[in-house]
Amino acid sequence: MKVKIDLDDTYDEPVITIQAKELTPALKEVIDYLKGQKQTRLLGVKDQQTIVIDPKKVDYVFSERRKVYAKIGKDDIQVNMKLYEVEAELKHHAFVRFSKSVVGNVNRIHQFESSFNGSLCVHFKSGNKEYISRKFVSDVKMKLFNEEGHHD
């Protein structure tokens, strides 16, 4: 892939043009990355204080007892959104559905461990672990290898 950059003071705003024979998974990833470049931040509540959460630091987001939490290190920070809203907001930040109640950040995964029932145990760089339901394993693998996943 060739990259050409033309810097000139006469340009008002950046314009990106992609010329290719076909739309490949690698190009799709570049396009998704560029589209997702707005600075997404989540607001969370910890110790009765509102804090700004950087998605890159989140291992996974989960729902429990009708509340949604972001797992950062050993902290569970409450997020005042529905899990499907968080999933939509973070889809350009390497987040993908792990199970009915968990959306995980594939960029924070350290290793996998297979389970006897077809699910996977994911170990994050922070030491946290979470399970990927068998139903979502292929979607996670596609996200890991930068291909567009479709889930029925």
Task: Of 105, 55, 43, give the one whose Cα is nearest residue 79.
Answer: 43
Quote the pLDDT of residue 105. Answer: 94
| Predicted TM-score (pTM) of this structure | 0.70
**108: which 2 tokens?**
């924070």
Q: Which alpha helices (DSSP H) does 23-126 contain, by range?
A: 25-35, 83-90
Beta-carbon contacts of residue 41 (< 8 Å; ≥ 6 apart)? 52, 53, 54, 55
Determine which helix (DSSP H) or strand (DSSP E) holds 45, and give its type and residue range: strand 42-46
**pLDDT tens-digit series, residues 110-146:** 998 887 777 889 999 999 999 999 899 888 888 877 6
Q: How far is CA 67 from CA 24, 74, 97, 104, in A?
A: 38, 18, 17, 16
C-alpha angle with apex 58: 113 to 73, nearest 5 degrees?
75
**With 0-12 CB in 10 A as exposed, 13-18 as middle and 19+ as buried, what is 61?**
buried
* Mean pLDDT across the chain: 85
Quote the pLDDT of residue 36. Answer: 61
Rounded to an integer, what distance in angstroms lies between the CA atom of residue 117 and that of residue 115? 6
Quote the pLDDT of residue 64. Answer: 95
Quote the pLDDT of residue 148. Answer: 45
Q: Is the pLDDT of residue 48 over 80?
A: yes
Domains present along the chain, CATH in parentheses = 25-144 (2.40.50.1020)
Quote the pLDDT of residue 112. Answer: 87
